[in-house]
A and B are shown apart, each in its own frame.
Chain A
Amino acid sequence: MSNSSSQAAARYNNNFLKEVEAMVEEGNWVKMCMQCGVCSGSCPTNFQAGWDHPPQEIFMMIRAGKREEVLTSQSMWMCTSCYNCIVRCPRKLPITHIMHGLANYAHRLGIAPKNQPTRHFAKLFWNNCIQTGRVNELKLSLGLYFRDGFKQGIINGLAMKDVGLGLLKAKRLNPFELFKPHGCKDQKGIHAMLKKAHEIEERRKAIKTA
């Protein structure tokens, strides 16, 4: 990277693009965008709150060197993985994957927006999942209810009580799961597998950045 003296000088050079290519999953595709806007036009989250920068704009911002704005944006967290953009992109960009890659990179750098609901959910889901090799729905939803404090958690829980009771009646929900979650058969194996995957990924990243 060049030792640019000012922020403005860093704009519209390729430094951030190169960083994205190296560090972001499928980031090497960003340069192939031809700015037609079909992805943005196809996105179902269009005009929802938080959709500040549609994919087309995100890719342009990467090329324009707007590192801070891209990585702190809410936009990529808005992706619902519907894959409409990938299906329609005339350049065959894996847009959904790039959006997730950017979100993940921002998260790893620790500059993703704090209290971002999607990020929070993703963390809960993942932690929950790796613990036992299964997603414990009760723990996951309670974790979500109490995201904004104990009082808000109670309020959220009461609001959902009818659903909870219904599930209880239909034997779809076991309250004891909260204390003794049931795991998959070979939990140790799962942990070993995930560890190995993590190692492989780290190695690949090291090669890319070298």
Chain B
Amino acid sequence: MAVEKKVAAYICQGCGLGERLDTAALVDVVKKEGKIQQVKPHPFLCSNAGVAMIQNDIDNEGVSHIMIGACSRRSKTDAFNFPEVAMARANLREGVIWIRPDTEEARETTQEMAEDYLRMGCAEIKTMRQPEGNPNTGTSRTLLVVGGGITGMTAALEAAKTGYPVVLVEKSGQLGGWAAKLYKRVPSHEPYKAPVDNGVADMVSAIEADPNIKVYLNATIAKTSGAPGRFQAEIATESGSTVTEDVGAIVQATGFALYDANKLPEFGYGKSPNVVDQGGLEQLAREAAERGGPILRPSDGQPVKSVVFVQCAGQRDASGTHLAYCSGHCCNTSIKQAMYFKDVNADIDTTVLYTDLRTPGNGEDFYRSGQEKGVIFTKGKVSSVEPAGNTCKVNFHDLILDDQHACIENADLVVLATGQVPNSGVNIDFKAVEGEEAAAEVEKKTISILNLDYRQGKDVPQLKYGFTDSHFICFPYETRRTGIYTAGPVRRPMDIAQAREDATGATLKAIQALENAAIGSAAHPRSGDLSYPSVRMEGCTQCKRCTVECPFGAIDEDAKGYPLMNESRCRRCGTCMGACPVRVISFENYSVDTVGSQIKAVSIPDEFSEKPRILVLACENDAYPAMDMAAMNRTEASAFVRVVPVRCLGSVNTIWITDALNSGYDGVMLMGCKHGDEYQCHFVKGSELANYRMSKIDDTLKGFNLETDRVQTYEVAITDIDRVPKLINDFEKRMFEIGMSPFKGF
């Protein structure tokens, strides 16, 4: 902790900066306008000598705040790594010289650009403090795994292998989940030819033998409170008593249920005992194996001579009645089940009726093996199954021969591939869904799994079809509840091989979360960030916007209705800061002031200079890197933009826009990630909230009598390397069309 605030600035002359820019003038700007007296230019700042110079100032001169005018803050982070001081970086290389032509006429505007970025850097460093780390840490290194199926058991074993104690809670009386009900499973190793043992017994004995894993059977989670590093899970046990366990992170592996085949009467389910779902067949196969005989048809106990597998039964349904998605495992499962018959008696007719056969992973080899064993695959869409006596007639449309009235008569057994429905908890976003069907859905899901003691609701939010939310592109295991990770079929439909991989990944993320929590640092994606939000309570009006808008449920309310920060749950996106209408929420090194003062530090030429000023607030996860990469390609962009990276567009407070327009900026561009259902925002809701807030800016603009074109939001991906400079240049063109802002010079 720095006792006295002492600021120093360093200006690099390497990478062509010295040739392209007038260093003496830059030093002058830092001294006179930035009001930092200690300014040191260096010919090669990131060299050992340059870094040693800075380190020496920190160690011996008492420098506590440094401003580095060199390359982008995303470059040379290894060299410019001074964790003991607050640091701001002015982007003179990617931000200025690399995007400007090296010509005599461009020289003036390029120099002005560099000077502005230094002014901004000076303003920023003066309003910053060195983050000290969340003081509210917890140090529990125990992992809570909810669900004792393949996913949960894998998570428990992987965590225990890494040395982390595990508490495993299973609602039923035994471990194993769905996999334990399987006679055999699809192979996960070479040569992928035959079904293999389900592997559950080995896993269960490994868990029982591991002193690091504590198992609660017939138990549920009565309440989960706290935050990463210090969750408290109240476990309702078999005996009726409640046990409290302190855990650091949670993996929810609550799996799936088969889609209810009773909803498929057209396929004869419920009308004939010989129509079963895939789970039903596993049971028949296990009974047969125990008896040591062939699989029997349920109606009269005669051996099955012909069996028909109906794929996509109630799945991939475009009508909206049944599951809209593909469950991903059923084709392989049906191939496996057909082998149950073929491996015992090759004369049994086994027909798989499919519309599209999908065999993910190494299923292709398994499929080929099924063909070699004589399993027949017929491309056809089943219309109905008619029970008749002890057999069934399966009517289908043969899609290869285009025969609408194809049928298989005398099928002893019909197996429906009904697919997976996630065992997730209460849908906390239910209000957003409408219609009777949705109501029925929510009626079913009133039982909470985690019973979170969060203001935002009892369970983790859901994305689509009841699967738990996750950032599909970047962080598949992340839920919107920090330190709580979901894995396995509760996250998306999957088979055993994928569930095991998923469990391993989620476990690793959970371990990272609890380790970060222990040192007071943020969880993914800002892992390593020690800053945390603080609220100036005396200014708070209890409007609750921060509590409502926080995507991660980090903010509860205290007894008086003030926001109660759970710093360990916080991902440091700053969405609360952007939401706060009275601007009382800030981070040590990122606040309304750090950005606001940068905006105000830019020198605004007068209305008649024909030099507009355009503010770009760019998401530092996607838009800002895209700009850096465009600069690496030396793509030219306007000299009139001043870019400020923001943690998330969600952290953008509308005051920044209002201030910018007030102080004479001609336009403001906001660049964030794609939002909506297919969102790519790293903080889930940030860019969406920003977009919503900015929709209200139009009124402000009209109040100022300004054109609404002057503020625009854009969805930018990290790959938009060519598009971003074009957006900027087009915007500049538009500003010249509209004309300069009349607010300059006030």
Interface residues of A (CB under 8 A from B): 8-9, 11-14, 17, 31-32, 34-35, 56-57, 60-61, 63-64, 91
Contact = CB atoms under 8 A, between A and B. Distances in A.
Given A32-B368, A34-B371, A34-B377, A57 B408 contact: no
Consensus secondary structure, chain B interface: strand
B374 A31 contact: yes
Nearest to A69: B401
Most A CB within 10 A of own CB, among B357, B377, B401:
B401
A60 B378 CA distance: 8
A35 B410 contact: no
Contacts of A14: 349, 374, 376
Contacts of A35: 377, 379, 400
A11 B408 CA distance: 7
Nearest to B376: A63
A8 B403 CA distance: 13
A17 B351 CA distance: 13
Given A12-B407, A35-B379, A60 B401 contact: yes
Contacts of B300: none
Contacts of A17: 376
Contacts of B374: 14, 31
B379 A9 contact: no
B156 to A, nearest CB: 39
15 contacts: A9-B409, A9-B410, A11-B409, A12-B351, A13-B306, A17-B376, A31-B371, A32-B371, A34-B367, A35-B400, A56-B400, A57-B400, A60-B379, A60-B400, A64-B403
B306 A64 contact: no
A56 B399 CA distance: 12
Given A31-B376, A35-B379, A12 B406 contact: yes
A12 B401 contact: no
- For the complex of A and B, list the 5 residue pairs with the smallest distance between their C-beta atoms, beginning with the closest: A60-B400, A12-B408, A9-B409, A32-B371, A14-B349
Contacts of A12: 351, 378, 406-408
Given A13-B349, A64-B406, 20 more contacts: A9-B409, A9-B410, A11-B408, A12-B351, A12-B378, A12-B406, A12-B408, A13-B306, A14-B349, A31-B371, A32-B372, A34-B367, A34-B377, A35-B377, A57-B401, A60-B378, A64-B378, A64-B398, A64-B401, A91-B368
Contacts of A56: 400
A8 B407 contact: yes
A119 B409 CA distance: 36
Contacts of B401: 57, 60-61, 64
B169 to A, nearest CB: 44
Contacts of A57: 400-401
Nearest to A17: B376
Interface string B352-380: 00000100000000011001101011110
A49 B406 CA distance: 26
Nearest to A6: B409
Interface residues on B, range: 20 to 34
A89 to B, nearest CB: 13
Given A31-B376, A91-B368, A60 B398 contact: yes
B401 to A, nearest CB: 6
A158 to B, nearest CB: 45
Consensus secondary structure, chain A interface: helix
A36 B349 CA distance: 22
A13 B349 CA distance: 7
Contacts of B406: 11-12, 64
Nearest to A61: B401
Contact of A11 (B306, B377, B407): B407
Most A CB within 10 A of own CB, among B306, B351, B367, B408:
B408
Contacts of B367: 34
Nearest to B372: A32
Contacts of A8: 407, 409
B690 to A, nearest CB: 47
Nearest to B357: A34
A9 B357 CA distance: 26
B390 to A, nearest CB: 15
B393 to A, nearest CB: 10
A30 B387 CA distance: 31
Contacts of B409: 8-9, 11
A56 B379 CA distance: 12
Interface in B6-65: none
Interface in B408-430: 408-410
Nearest to A59: B400
Nearest to B354: A35
A164 B408 CA distance: 58
B594 to A, nearest CB: 59
A28 to B, nearest CB: 10
Contacts of B376: 14, 17, 31, 63
Nearest to A35: B379
Contacts of A64: 378, 398, 401, 403, 406
A64 B406 CA distance: 9
Contacts of B400: 35, 56-57, 60
Contacts of B410: 9
A32 to B, nearest CB: 5
Contacts of B378: 12, 60, 63-64
Most B CB within 10 A of own CB, among A12, A14, A60:
A12
Interface string B238-253: 0000000000000000
A63 B406 CA distance: 12
Contacts of B349: 13-14
A210 B351 CA distance: 26
B349 to A, nearest CB: 5
A192 B379 CA distance: 48
Interface in B271-308: 306
A57 B379 CA distance: 11
A56 B357 CA distance: 16
A121 B256 CA distance: 63
Nearest to B353: A12
Nearest to B375: A31
A66 to B, nearest CB: 8
Contacts of A60: 378-379, 398, 400-401
Nearest to A13: B349
A64 B377 CA distance: 10
Nearest to B371: A32
Interface in B546-603: none
A73 to B, nearest CB: 13
Contacts of A32: 368, 371-372
Nearest to B306: A13
Most A CB within 10 A of own CB, among B372, B376, B398, B400:
B400
Contacts of B377: 34-35
Contacts of A13: 306, 349, 408
Contacts of A61: 401
A93 B13 CA distance: 68
Nearest to A56: B400
Nearest to B374: A31
B424 to A, nearest CB: 36
Contacts of B398: 60, 64
A126 to B, nearest CB: 33
Nearest to B405: A8
A75 to B, nearest CB: 13
Nearest to B396: A12
B220 to A, nearest CB: 46
Nearest to B350: A14
A195 to B, nearest CB: 36
Contacts of B379: 35, 60
